[in-house]
Amino acid sequence: MSENTVFETDRPVFPFTAIIGQDEMKLALILNVIDPKIGGVMIMGDRGTGKSTTVRALVDLLPQIEVVANDPFNSHPSDPELMSQEVKEKILNQQPLEVLQTKINMVDLPLGATEDRVCGTIDIEKALTEGVKAFEPGLLAKANRGILYVDEVNLLDDHLVDVLLDSAASGWNTVEREGISISHPARFILVGSGNPEEGELRPQLLDRFGMHAEIRTVKDYQTRVSIVLQRLEFDESPKDFRKLYQEKQEELTKRIAEARERVKSVKLVDDYYSIISSICSDLDIDGLRGDLVTNRAAKALCAFEGREIVEEQDLIRIMPLCLRHRLRKDPLETIDSGEKIQQILEKYF
């Protein structure tokens, strides 16, 4: 393991590679790390199905990135779209930048968070008396170039959800108060989880998530026993349990890092562009987000599997994840959204 890789943490996290089942959720999370422009993941499922455990387990797998030292926004040292105004000014003034290698950050958004805590605040008194833009960064600043995780996102105040989705879509967060305006980059992978029994998200908000994973409670008793024994073993001795999966964790981290580079050169043949858009049209999906997300996710899956040309099987695997939450809900229909997509896929493939 490299010197920069931190495997042991103060609060041991369950290893991602030890999680049994829930392949759909794990794949969606990995693909978003490979290509953050997919637009995040909405994970909906029953209570106690490991949604939060899986998302937090992702932290160990996140590859390292270059950031400007002592910058609260995790600014990129060379990409203007991912750097704060202060860093841009330093570059314009030809001041040297100290660059560090650090793991991609993951930020938890607590349910009771206020808008100030999320977006940041401007110290008006300091701005008026000292003439400087005194900005106290919020969670969006900390999550820049990382992952923002919202557990029970369907219980979050609609106004805050709008703020999060707007920032995720634009890549910027703007705070305005008393005529003073401050903007900073806020490009993050938005991951939300929730239990459908506690309420659904509005369709226009669901559409803003790139992918949607549905989690079901495991029914097979042998699998349930395996999961229970595994969890008891982890709770008994977390560090020893993590050591058993250390090699697998490092292999998957390396695979993700390589895929992040490879995805830039992955090709999608022209026929597949037509097929993707035809399927979205047949499913009567509003807007073009479904088409765009499917294209990106197919390339990310192809890169993750070490290939450079998207295959038919890639589309079949990722289209239900990218499209099921965008279908219009018809109360008179008895067919499940996943089955509806499968029927359309069988028509084309």
CATH superfamily of 263-348: Magnesium chelatase subunit I, C-Terminal domain (1.10.8.80)
Q: What is the tens place of the pLDDT at every residue in 23-79?
A: 899 999 999 999 988 989 999 888 878 888 898 899 888 888 889 888 888 888 888
* pLDDT tens by residue, 73-98: 888 888 888 888 888 888 888 888 88
Q: Is the dihedral of CA 307, 309, 313, 318 positive or negative?
A: positive
pLDDT, residue 131, reads 59
Q: What is the pLDDT of residue 309?
A: 94
Q: What is the pLDDT of residue 257?
A: 92
Q: What is the mean pLDDT of residues 310-323?
A: 93
Contact 210, 295 (CB under 8 A): no
Q: Write the DSSP assignment of 247-266 as a string of letters.
A: HHHHHHHHHHHHHHHHGGG-
pLDDT at position 218 is 83
Residue closest to 263 by CA, chosen among 316, 229, 306? 306
Least confident of 119-128, 162-171, 305-314: 119-128
Helix (H) / strand (E) containing 153: none
DSSP 59-94: GGGPPEEEEETT-TT---SS-GGGS-HHHHHHHHTT
Rounded percentage of the chain residues whose pLDDT exceeds 90: 33
Nearest to 155 by CA among 212, 104, 198: 198
Q: Among 102-106, 137-141, 164-168, 302-306, which range has the highest average pLDDT?
A: 302-306
**pLDDT (0 to 100) of residue 3:** 41
Residue 312 CB burial class (10 angstroms; 0-12, 13-18, ≥19) = middle
Helix (H, G, I), strand (E, B) or coil at 149: strand
Give the domain ranges of the chain: 16-216, 263-348
Looking at residue 328, the DSSP 8-state letter turns out to be P
In CATH terms, the superfamily for domain 16-216 is: P-loop containing nucleotide triphosphate hydrolases (3.40.50.300)
Instruction: Please list, in sequence order, all residues whose beta carbon lies within 8 angstroms of the beta carbon of residue 244, skipping any fewer than 6 positions away.
Output: 18
Per-residue pLDDT reduced to its tens digit, 242-262: 999 999 999 999 999 999 999
What separation in angstroms does the CA of 322 have from each of 10, 160, 213? Answer: 36, 24, 9
317-321 contact pairs (CB < 8 A, 24+): 317/27, 318/27, 318/31, 318/211, 318/294, 319/276, 319/279, 319/294, 319/345, 321/24, 321/27, 321/28, 321/211, 321/212, 321/213, 321/297
- CA 48 to CA 270: how far, in whole Å? 43
Q: What count of other Cβ atoms lies within 10 Å of the Cβ of residue 67?
A: 24
Task: Choose the catalytic residue: 255, 260, 289, 324.
Answer: 289
Give the pLDDT band of residue 104 (cuts 50, 70, 90): confident
Q: 9 pLDDT band (50/70/90 cuts)?
A: very low
Q: What is the pLDDT at residue 243?
A: 93
Element (H, E) at 142: helix 139-142
Structure pTM?
A: 0.85
Asked if 52 and 59 count as a contact pair (C-beta separation under 8 A), the reply is: no
**Mean predicted confidence (pLDDT) in 196-204:** 75
Find where tokens 């450079």 sit.
308
Of 66-75, 191-200, 266-275, minimum mean pLDDT range? 191-200
Q: Catalytic site residue 289?
A: yes
